Homo-oligomer: A and B are copies of this chain.
Amino acid sequence: MGIAETADEQLSIGEVAERTGLSVHALRFYEREGLLVGRVRRTSGGRRRYTPFDVDWLLICVKLRESGMPLADLKQFAELVRQGPGNEAERLELLDVHRQRVDAQIRALEECRSVIAWKVGVYAEHLARGEAGGLWDPTA
């Protein structure tokens, strides 16, 4: 608590959890799954010490996951980065494909939203008029 953040501070797993919104369980899980770019350094006592690098990467991961990128793709991306320079075109492709999926997802959600809004309108109107008729009452 109250630890200064001097830019290249090493963080404990708990602190990283706090900053990324991932649970400590999830952080260890991601590491086991090879989703991190470099292996995490450890203290002499074996505790993980994350660099701001790791945290930045994790923050990107969180955004990608949040938008539905599967862990497998994340892992592939991490592997590309791990391989070092030279495959930027592949990384770009991976991200761009995902961006298109996100766009499609947004469009789909907007359509859902409008269907739901329409139905909400139906009920709202029904309520405003008082009990008019058994709205969709197949028991009738």
Contact = CB atoms under 8 A, between A and B. Distances in A.
Interface of A: 37-38, 53, 57, 60, 63-64, 66-67, 81-82, 84-86, 88-89, 91-92, 95-96, 98-99, 102-103, 105-106, 108-113, 115-117, 119-120, 123-124, 126-127, 131, 133-140
A37 B135 CA distance: 13
A120 B140 CA distance: 56
A116 B38 contact: no
Given A38-B139, A85-B135, A136-B81, A95 B123 contact: yes
Contacts of A81: 136-138
Nearest to A131: B85
A108 B68 CA distance: 11
Q: How many copies does the complex hold?
A: 2
Contact of A84 (B108, B119, B134): B134
A120 B135 contact: no
A57 B33 CA distance: 41
Given A109-B105, A134-B84, A138-B53, A92 B123 contact: yes
